[in-house]
């Protein structure tokens, strides 16, 4: 039961962090559109992926690697769906970096969420 809750909460982190990034961009009066804004959004996309995997890993009572892997799989499926659905609306560099940073997001999220043993 806790594993399911961990994954549900982890998935909820993604839109929450992306909304925070969007709100912060508006508060900083960043112009909508353009390369700078896409780079900003890509950073928040990566941060939300890292936070998703870290959340799933940290909330797991055991099998932390499995939780990180499953969260990474869900993240990859969501990103793959997004690229297939609206990928043509974005520059190639944005789509490529979004996909290429996926292993880094999973690895860093796993490292951040894993329990530390003394």
Other C-beta atoms closer than 10 Å to the C-beta of 5 total 10
In the prediction, which pLDDT does 46 show?
A: 96
In the prediction, which pLDDT does 22 show?
A: 93
Residue with tokens 């990474």: 72
Residue with tokens 């793959």: 80
Counting as low any pLDDT under 50, the low residues of the chain are: none
In the prediction, which pLDDT does 9 show?
A: 93
Q: How far apart are CA 58 and CA 56, in angstroms?
A: 6
Q: Which stretches within 28-117 are classed as H helix?
A: 34-59, 64-86, 92-100, 102-113
Handedness of CA 87, 93, 96, 97 (dihedral sign): negative
In the prediction, which pLDDT does 118 show?
A: 52
């Amino acid at each position: 039961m806790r594993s399911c809750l961990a994954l549900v909460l982890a998935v909820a982190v993604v839109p929450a962090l992306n909304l925070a990034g969007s709100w912060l961009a508006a508060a900083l009066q960043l112009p909508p559109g353009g390369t700078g804004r896409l780079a900003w959004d890509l950073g928040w996309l990566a941060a939300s992926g890292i936070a998703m995997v870290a959340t799933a890993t940290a909330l797991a009572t055991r099998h932390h690697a499995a939780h990180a892997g499953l969260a990474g799989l869900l993240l990859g499926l969501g990103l793959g769906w997004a690229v297939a659905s609206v990928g043509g609306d974005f520059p190639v560099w944005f789509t490529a970096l979004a996909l290429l940073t996926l292993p880094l997001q999973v690895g860093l999220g796993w490292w951040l969420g894993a329990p530390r043993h003394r």
